[in-house]
Homo-oligomer: A and B are copies of this chain.
Amino acid sequence: LNMSNPVVTLTTDFGEDSPYVAAMKGVILATNAAARIVDLSHQTPAQDVRYASFFLAASLPYFPAGTLHVVVVDPGVGSERAILYAELGGQRILAPDNGCLTGLVSRVGEPTVVRKLEETGYWRPTVSSTFHGRDIFAPVAGHLSLGLDPARLGPLFANWLRLEEAQPIRGAMESHGEVVFVDHFGNLISNIPADAVSQPPQWLQVGKRRLKRFAWVRSYAEARPGDLVVLVSSENRMEVAVAQGNAAKRLRAGVGTSISVGFDA
C-alpha cells in the first residue's frame, strides 16, 4: 500500500453542528499540516454501527489504494473496546472495534492486517474518556498520513468483532430478505441480490403489505412520479423506491423490515 497518501477521510456521527468534528480536524492538521481532509459524513445516525457498516461498504471501495479512513461511530468510547487499524481491499482504516467493518469485509474480503492501538506515544498526552476521536484517532491518523509504519501502533489483533448479517433466502419462485439501508431519498435497499429481479416479479411484499401494483424498471425515470418501483440498486441489490417520492414513508418501512419478491406459480 502507498503509505504516503496525504488524504484522510472522516466518517462520524458527531453531526454537522458539532465542535467535535472541528477539533478532530485541528488535531490532524496539527500533526500533519499537509494532510488533506475529506469529509465523508458526519450525519451518520447517532451510535448506529449498522448504518456505518453499510455506509463504509458502499463508499470506501471507490477510493484509491492506500487512502486512510477514520471512522468514529463509537457508542463504546471509553470502554475496553479496542481501536483498530485495519487494511482491507486496499484501504486503510482506523475504527472502533464494534463491527462497523462487517459490511466492507463482506464486500472486499478479509483484512490483510488488523492491529489494536496500544502505543500511547502517538496519542494526545491526555485522553478524555468521552472523546477518543480527538485524543486517539485524530493524532494517530495524522502520524499515519506522515508515513508512520502501522506496526508501531500496536500488536496484531485477531478477535475483532463482526455484526451478524441477515442472509437472504433465494428460491426458484421467490426470494426473502430485509431492508438493510434507507437512503436520503427514502429508497429501500435490500440484501436480496440483483439477479432475483432480473425478470419482472409478479408480487412484492414489504413488511406485512403484499403489493401487486408496482413497476419493474431500470431507473426511476422510467416510472411516473409517485409510482412504486422495483429496480436494481447502485450496489447490485434489489431496491424498492417511489419515483420522485419516498418509499420508506409510503410503505412505513425501515432497516430490518422484511422484503420478499416472487413469481406466481
Contact = CB atoms under 8 A, between A and B. Distances in A.
A26 B221 contact: no
Given A15-B185, A26-B60, 17 more contacts: A11-B22, A14-B184, A16-B42, A19-B58, A21-B40, A22-B40, A22-B58, A23-B58, A26-B64, A29-B38, A29-B64, A30-B62, A76-B221, A78-B219, A79-B219, A79-B221, A131-B234
Give this chain's copy count. 3
Interface stretch (A44-52, A159-167, A170-178, A198-206): A44-52
Given A16-B42, A184-B18, A234-B134, A218 B62 contact: no
Nearest to A128: B234
Q: Which 5 A-B pairs have the closest CB atoms?
A: A78-B219, A15-B184, A26-B62, A22-B59, A131-B234
B244 A47 contact: yes
Given A27-B62, A75-B221, A222-B79, A21 B46 contact: no
A214 interface: no
Nearest to A24: B62
A55 B18 CA distance: 7
Contact of A220 (B16, B27, B77): B77
A9 interface: yes
A118 interface: no
A135 B232 CA distance: 15
Nearest to A2: B33
A171 B192 CA distance: 61
A234 B79 contact: no
Interface of A: 5, 7, 9, 11, 13-27, 29-30, 33, 36-47, 54-56, 58-64, 67, 75-79, 81, 128-131, 134-135, 183-185, 218-222, 231-234, 239, 244
Contacts of A7: 29, 33
Contact of A78 (B63, B78, B130, B222): B222
B233 A130 contact: yes
B47 A22 contact: no
5 contacts: A7-B33, A16-B41, A17-B45, A20-B59, A129-B218
A75 B219 contact: no
A97 to B, nearest CB: 12
Contact of A46 (B41, B79, B185): B185
A26 B59 contact: yes
